[in-house]
């Protein structure tokens, strides 16, 4: 089942089921009611206290950035203000030369956890979704903690749904399209560090709370966003996250 978090026409926040129809339209059901997606506001599928992101988890992405493959997961944080939802228009920081897309598979935590082993890691996963780790390269190149580069408002579009882990193949494809043109296309079997390895490493240092997000890294093919772009992030077994881009 694909779970969706949404605000219904009366303004109530609900968790319902997302349905894909044969004519490529989408419906959302909850409590005996069914809505077209454009009748409601689709919300991010999680309400994290933090988003833990992983850098250079694909060797080909490290190569395109002219950087080494890390010997342990490269971790950084995005705060909750970075969230954006399916269908949103994301406003990029003003006056920047290069703000880039990064398609990623994101894991949502189901239970509070600390010091988790790799063997038990998936027991703490509530589900999987899509994320775009939008990155302000101008400032990322100038700072070490990447607050300006990674943590700006709406820099983490997330959604549209939460899929259970069994719905996502071990070699799930990760793709990104801009204005209908494929820019990134890879598979999670190219990960340097697997999801259980990431959870074990992160929880050695950080307590994860229900709803926290782990974004697992982007494949090669990152590139600059422009005003008016329409972005689609697709993870096999999850669906397609869509958002627009505005440059002030």
What's the CATH number where 135 sits? Answer: 3.90.850.10
Using one digit for the tens of pLDDT, what is the confidence trace for 180-239?
Answer: 999 999 999 999 999 999 999 999 999 999 999 999 999 999 999 999 999 999 999 999
Tell me, what's the pLDDT at 38?
A: 94
Grade residue 86 by pLDDT with cuts at 50, 70 and 90: very high
Q: Is residue 111 domain-shared with residue 142, that is, in the same domain?
A: yes
Structural domain count, the chain:
2
Torsion angle (degrees, nearest 10) of CA 55, 139, 177, 166:
30
Query: Residue 22 pLDDT > 80, yes or no?
Result: no
Q: How far apart are CA 245 and CA 86, in angstroms?
A: 12
Q: Is residue 37 domain-shared with residue 5, that is, in the same domain?
A: yes
Tell me, what's the pLDDT at 76?
A: 98
- Mean predicted confidence (pLDDT) in 108-136: 98
Q: How far apart are CA 38 and CA 229, in angstroms?
A: 20
Alpha helix (H) residue ranges in the chain: 59-64, 137-140, 147-150, 195-203
Query: Residue 25 pLDDT > 90, yes or no?
Result: no
Using one digit for the tens of pLDDT, what is the confidence trace for 33-52?
Answer: 999 999 999 999 999 999 99
Do residues 235 and 126 make contact, with C-beta atoms less than 8 angstroms apart?
A: no
Q: Is residue 64 domain-shared with residue 125, that is, in the same domain?
A: yes
Do residues 29 and 15 make contact, with C-beta atoms less than 8 angstroms apart?
A: no
CATH code, domain carrying 7: 2.30.30
Q: Mean pLDDT score of the chain, rounded to an integer?
A: 97
Grade residue 21 by pLDDT with cuts at 50, 70 and 90: confident
DSSP 8-state code for residue 191: B
Q: Is residue 94 domain-shared with residue 14, that is, in the same domain?
A: no
Q: Is residue 103 domain-shared with residue 37, that is, in the same domain?
A: no
Q: Judge if the upstream peptide bond of residue 160 is cis by omega within 30 degrees of 0.
A: yes
Tell me, what's the pLDDT at 229?
A: 99
Share of the chain above pLDDT 90, in %: 97
Q: Is residue 25 domain-shared with residue 56, that is, in the same domain?
A: no
Which position has the token pair 């903690």?
A: 145
Please state, in angstroms and as integers, the Cα–Cα distance from residue 45 to each residue in 3, 17, 171, 191, 210, following that order.
Answer: 8, 11, 23, 24, 12
Q: Is residue 111 domain-shared with residue 219, that is, in the same domain?
A: yes
Q: Is residue 63 domain-shared with residue 30, that is, in the same domain?
A: no
Neighbouring C-beta atoms of residue 122, cutoff 10 Å: 14
Q: Is residue 57 domain-shared with residue 178, that is, in the same domain?
A: yes
Q: Is residue 97 domain-shared with residue 133, that is, in the same domain?
A: yes
Grade residue 24 by pLDDT with cuts at 50, 70 and 90: confident
Query: Residue 78 pLDDT > 80, yes or no?
Result: yes
Q: Structural domain of residue 80, as residue ranges?
A: 44-246
Query: Residue 244 pLDDT > 90, yes or no?
Result: yes
Q: Is residue 182 domain-shared with residue 63, that is, in the same domain?
A: yes
Q: Is residue 128 domain-shared with residue 229, that is, in the same domain?
A: yes
């Amino acid at each position: 089942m694909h779970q969706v978090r949404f605000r219904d026409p009366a303004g109530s926040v609900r968790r319902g089921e997302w349905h894909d129809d044969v004519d490529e339209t989408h419906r959302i059901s909850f409590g005996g009611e069914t809505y077209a997606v454009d009748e409601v506001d689709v919300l991010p599928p999680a309400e994290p206290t933090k988003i833990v992101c992983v850098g250079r988890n694909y060797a080909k992405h490290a190569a395109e950035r002219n950087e080494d493959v890390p010997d342990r997961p490269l971790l950084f944080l995005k705060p909750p203000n970075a969230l954006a939802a399916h269908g949103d228009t994301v406003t990029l920081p003003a006056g920047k030369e290069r703000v880039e897309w990064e398609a990623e598979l994101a894991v949502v935590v189901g239970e509070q956890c600390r010091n988790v082993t790799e063997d038990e890691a998936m027991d703490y996963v509530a589900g999987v979704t899509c994320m775009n780790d939008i990155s302000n390269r101008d400032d990322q190149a100038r700072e070490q903690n990447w607050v300006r580069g990674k943590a700006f408002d709406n820099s983490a579009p997330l959604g549209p749904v939460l899929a259970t882990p069994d719905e996502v193949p071990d070699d799930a494809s990760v793709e990104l399209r801009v204005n209908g043109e494929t820019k990134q296309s890879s598979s999670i079997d190219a990960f340097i560090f697997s999801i259980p390895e990431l959870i074990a490493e992160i929880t050695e240092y950080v307590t994860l709370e229900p709803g926290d997000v782990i974004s697992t890294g982007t494949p090669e093919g990152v590139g600059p966003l422009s005003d008016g772009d329409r972005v689609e992030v697709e993870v096999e077994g999850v669906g397609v996250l869509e958002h627009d881009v505005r440059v002030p």
